[in-house]
Structures are given as structure tokens and as C-alpha cells.
Structure 1
Amino acid sequence: MSARRRVAVIGGGRNCEHEVGLATAASVRRALDPRRYDVVPLTIGRDGSWSSDGSPLAFADAVAVLAACDVAFPAVHGPHGEDGTLAALCELAGVPYVGAGVRGGALAMDKWATKLVAAALGIRVAPGMVVASVDELVPVRLPAVVKPVAAGSSHGVTLVRSAAQLVPAARAALELDTRVLVEELVVGREVDVAVLERADGTRVAGPPLEVVVPSGRLFDTEAKYDGSADFRLPAVVSDVEGKELEEAALAMFDALGCSGVARVDFFLTRSGPVLNEVNTMPGLTEQSQVPKMFAAAGLAYPRLLDELVTGALARVG
């Protein structure tokens, strides 16, 4: 048997998605095949501190642990992780890593930049604007959705139905980011498509998944984690709709420069797909959307993780 690869699984994170990052990292650590991988746990605290198995590490020591590994598996969602910062750290440490590189992570985390890329590809997006303060707000068509430009798990997202709600919603979003995206509400089914870059460089889209939430609600932070959302897999779509969704997801994956795996979220309207956002480090517990999608296509969770780690190693030869 060949020597086991040392895999640094990095969880937590200095952001509002800290708990989700802990859950993803714990799930990944449990599922990586111990016959093939020697897992090295690293955790980033809410305050940015580092630790391993509960033992505090100075940042320099954490980097030394990371540099001694064969590959890194960043499982940190949101800012200071998914946005390219952890990818940059791995690049500087000379360690191959799972997921998008610096450019892909940074572009996809910026919802406004993502929409500009989509529009350039001919993929429909919701009309909207970006503001850096409430003073820049102008009247918008209501209802509208207000959200931070760069945050995850729907933190800071508000559905605005009246003009009086707009300023408070923007202020709430500005607590999480320096810029706020205000978009017209898109009426349609919420359908997600996961794209996997296999170890051989080929890309495959999983079956579409529809997210059904109670009437009148957004798929917000509460709905994502309180069990009220209903995941329908595979989503019931026509052949034409399925082809449009898959082509748009693959196009966004390539244009943003994604690697490993990404989840591309759409609203499926009567006129076709409208891009919502792209997640380059989606939830990756066994019960998360992306693993469920690929499991439905015959790729079990441990095999999916193995594909991601093998792919990260293959990209560096």
C-alpha cells in the first residue's frame, strides 16, 4: 500500500459562517478514507486564532503545520476563507488545495462581480444596484431583496416589500459588508446545479435540486438550517430547462475560474434561468445539497471527497 497522504482539513472561520465551517470540516474529516489519508485538523476561531485538536497554535506554527501536509482541504465558508484568502495562503505555503483558486474564490464571493460575468455570458440576472451607504439608495421597484455583496448562508438578506423597509434592510446588510446589493425580486423556482471538476480535468454537472420554502419566504439563513426547506431531487424540469441550467452552470464555473466543486444557484422562471449566485465552497456535510446531488448521480460522499483531494493533487502534477 502506498503511503497515506497528509490532508490538512481547515474548518471554522473568522466570519458569521463559523459554525457551518466547523460542521463541514468535521464531516469531511470523518469521511476521508483513513487507509488513504492522514487527516490533520486545523481550525480558525471566530477571532482569527488557529488551533489543532483544541490546542492553540501561533499563526506561524499553523502555517508550518499546513506546509508539512501534502494537500489542504479548506472547509471555511464565506469571508476570510471562501473568498480566495485561504487559497492565497495555500499558494504562498506551496500546498495544493481543494477548491477554487484566488481569482475564482474572490470573483464568486462578490455577488455583483459574479452578475457582471453572467451578463457578459448572456445569462440573465436580476436588475439591481450596489451601494456603499444608505445615502446612495434610490427608489427601486418593490418587492426587492437586499443583501451584502460578499457574505454567505444568506446572512444579512432581507426581503423588502415597502419603501420604509429599504433603509433598515440596507443598514443590516452593511453590518456584514461595506457594499450592499439591492435587486428586484425574481419570481421563480429556486433550482441549484452542482459542478464537479474531476481529477482528470473533466467537468460534470449533478442533477438539479429544487429548494422549496414556505410561501412568502426567502431561502434565508433561518430556512437553510431550521428544516423548513424541502429539497426536491432531482428537480422536475423539462429537457430544455435542464439543458439551459447545466450549460449556464458550466459556463459560470469556467468563466469565474472555479476548481474542485461549486454550486450554482438559479431562479427558474417562465422565461428561463436567472442566476442568483455561485458558491465555490458550498456546504459539504453528507446531508448538504451538493453531496446529495452527486449521491443521486451515483457518486457517494466519500468518493466525492476523494475526487476533490485527488483533483487538487493532480492540478499541480
Structure 2
Amino acid sequence: MKKNIAIIMGGYSTEVNISIKSGNVVYDHLDREKYMPYRILISEEKWVALDALDTEYSVDKNDFSFVLKGKKILFDCVFNAIHGTPGEDGALLAYLNLIQLKHTSAPFYQMALTFNKRDTLSVVQAYGIKTATAVYLNKGDAIDLDAIISKVGLPCFIKPNKAGSSFGISKAHTKETILPAITIAFKEDTEILIESFLEGTEVSVGIISFEGITKVLPITEIVSENDFFDYEAKYNGKSEEITPARITEKQQEKVKKAAKKIYEILNLTGISRSEFIFVNDEPYFLEINMVPGLTAESILPQQALAAGISLQSLFGNAITTALKK
């Protein structure tokens, strides 16, 4: 009997449109012999199921069901394609846990932890993972630019603590550009990071729970035409993403080991993508994304295809793994 699969997409953040693209790709590629997929659009205004013509049907939050042609549709599993809150920060997953509905992401605590860059960095540093030097600020904190520069140097990166797709990130080359960058970051979040600039090759490492094992996918090298891998570089063709990455065997072994170690010490499951920069052959961890982009052009699907895993197999495996939890 086919499993009913809810593909949740949308969300409450600035990543809503990217999430909808990812959700539609999952919907298009799920095996119709095994699954009956339904798209569920989550927004602050409404939770609705969409049919093939995008007609909306209200979702009952008591049991995450909806009524279609007089029949109540209940789900066997939820495929999480929400970038940002409430899908990537654990909030919606805690709700699914309460109603005992399985999903493709890691448990809600791990999702909340990894969505918080500051807390994730603090945990992995204790296990010997190398990271950039950083200053953390909460909205309203006193800002001492000289102290910040003394610690992280110039240029430096200013990032929202909890945001994705490079929204709100700036690279400051001078003291005068730090405050405007802080203002931009605070528009995305009430907590920000200011990190030292790491010069070197940037790579992205995808890890999935695949057929019962933790599988590291072929590594992607990121070459941005812009000053860094910003939103335009990610989504408007201003970067080159090279899979497999043009790195040495030694570098490959080191970054794979670091990415897998992070995945395991954080007790993660499901799909993840970690970002690193090599400094003198050593991988420095930047962040981890637990709901990466899932379009055919996105990095992790590219890595899966390089590993011989089709999008149908990638998405189907995520559901199979979730159903076994």
C-alpha cells in the first residue's frame, strides 16, 4: 500500500521561495509506485495542502490532516523541505514529535542546535574541530569596534546567528563598514556573529544516512565570482560549483573525517551539508545546513548524482530511513 507523504515547504523566514522550489522538486521526483505525495504549504497566515492545480485545503493542526473530496488524508511521514524557521530550527519538528508523526530530519533538539551557528561552533570546538575566531553580539549590546577588530581582524564577516541562504551576511573590509553590516545582520536575527576572514579553498561536504550507513558524498568546491559565496553567487549563477572538488587526497581525507565527526558528535540523522575553508591544508568548519537546497541545481543533489544516487533514490531513501526510526 502506498505511503502518504507530506512535503512541507514555505516557512516563516526570508527563505520561503527557495523552500517552495525545493519542495516542488521533491514532489516531482518521489516514486509514485511507492508514495502518494502531497505538498503542504506552511506560512504564518495558514497551513494548507495543495493539489495539482494549487487549490488549497486547510490542514487540521490537531493531527496534521486535511480533507480531500470528502476523505480525510492522514500521513505516514513528513518530508521536511522548509529552509529556516519553523522547519530547520526544530519548532515544527517538535510539534510532529508530539503528534507522533515521523519526518525526514534529525530530532528537533539537534535541528535547533545546528540552526544556531554560535552554539554549534561552541560544541564542535570542544571536540577539536577548527573554526574561525569569532565575536558574538546580541541586539542592544554595546559595540566596541576596536575590540572587535583586535580579536577577528580585517576583513571580517558579519552574519546573523540563525539564518540561511547567506541572507544578512556582509564582508567588512574596513572599520567604517562594520556598523552598517551589523545593522543588516540584525534585520535577520537578534543575535549575530563577527568572524575572522579565512583565505583558502571553500568546500561543501554532503552527508546522508543512506541504506543504514552514514555516507559522505563527493565534495564540492565553491568558486564565487563575488567577494564571497553570497545570495547572488548561490542562486543567480555568480559562482562555479565543482564536483568533485579540486583538492588533494590529503585534504579530501581530512575534510571528510571532520564532516563525519561533526555529524556523529551532534547525533545527526537525515540530510546535511557542511561548509569548510582550507587554511594551510587544514579544514576550518563554518556551518552546517540540515535542510539544504534540493533543486537539481543545488549542491547536495549534485553531490548525490556524482555518487550515482538519483534524486528519486535520494528522496526515497530519506523517507525509508525516517519510517524505520
The answer to whether structure 1 residue 162 and structure 2 residue 174 are counterparts is yes
Q: Select which of 144, 150, 159 maps to 1:147.
A: 159
Q: Distance in 2 between matches of 1:136 and 1:93?
A: 43
Compared CA separation, residues 271 and 136, structure 1 to 2 (3 A): farther
Q: Distance in 1 between matches of 2:265 and 2:306?
A: 27
Compared CA separation, residues 106 and 228, structure 1 to 2 (3 A): same
| TM-score calculated relative to the size of structure 1 | 0.94
The answer to whether structure 1 residue 209 and structure 2 residue 220 are counterparts is yes
Compared CA separation, residues 58 and 10, structure 1 to 2 (3 A): closer
Give 1:251's aligned residue. 261
Mapping 1:2-21, distance limit 5 Å: 3-21=1-19
- The CA deviation at 1:59 is 5.4
Equivalent residue letter for 1:196 = I
SS of alignment partner, residue 310 of structure 1:
helix
Q: Distance in 1 between matches of 2:2 and 2:234?
A: 36
SS of alignment partner, residue 65 of structure 2:
helix
The answer to whether structure 1 residue 51 and structure 2 residue 48 are counterparts is yes
Greater mean deviation of Cα atoms: 13-22 or 126-135: 126-135
Q: Which runs of 5+ in 2 are unaligned?
A: 67-71
Give 1:300's aligned residue. 310
Mapping 1:1-317, distance limit 5 Å: 3-45=1-43, 47-53=44-50, 54-57=55-58, 60=61, 63-65=64-66, 68-133=74-139, 135-138=141-144, 139=146, 140=149, 141-200=153-212, 202-214=213-225, 217-315=227-325
SS of alignment partner, residue 61 of structure 2:
helix
Equivalent residue letter for 2:202 = E
| TM-score calculated relative to the size of structure 2 | 0.91
SS of alignment partner, residue 7 of structure 1:
strand
Q: Is the 8 A contact 2:155 2:196 kept in 1?
A: yes
Q: Which runs of 5+ in 1 are unaligned?
A: none
Q: Distance in 2 between matches of 1:250 and 1:67?
A: 38
Q: Distance in 2 between matches of 1:91 and 1:165?
A: 44
Q: Distance in 1 between matches of 2:46 and 2:184?
A: 26
SS of alignment partner, residue 173 of structure 1:
helix
SS of alignment partner, residue 90 of structure 1:
helix
Q: Distance in 1 between matches of 2:238 and 2:194?
A: 26
Compared CA separation, residues 267 and 22, structure 1 to 2 (3 A): same
Q: Distance in 2 between matches of 1:275 and 1:121?
A: 12
Equivalent residue letter for 1:80 = P
Greater mean deviation of Cα atoms: 142-151 or 236-245: 236-245
Q: CA RMSD of the aligned region, Å?
A: 1.6
Equivalent residue letter for 1:208 = I
Q: Is the 8 A contact 2:201 2:278 kept in 1?
A: yes
- The CA deviation at 1:294 is 1.3
SS of alignment partner, residue 60 of structure 1:
coil
Q: Distance in 1 between matches of 2:258 and 2:295?
A: 25
- The CA deviation at 1:271 is 4.1
Greater mean deviation of Cα atoms: 29-38 or 50-59: 50-59
Greater mean deviation of Cα atoms: 141-150 or 127-136: 127-136
Compared CA separation, residues 145 and 59, structure 1 to 2 (3 A): farther
Greater mean deviation of Cα atoms: 226-235 or 263-272: 263-272
Q: Distance in 2 between matches of 1:143 and 1:67?
A: 53
- The CA deviation at 1:62 is 7.3
SS of alignment partner, residue 126 of structure 1:
coil
Equivalent residue letter for 2:179 = V
- The CA deviation at 1:245 is 0.6
Equivalent residue letter for 2:227 = R
Deviations along 1:133-184, one digit per CA (max 9) or x if unpaired, are: 3643232211110010000001000000111111111111111111010001
Equivalent residue letter for 2:33 = R
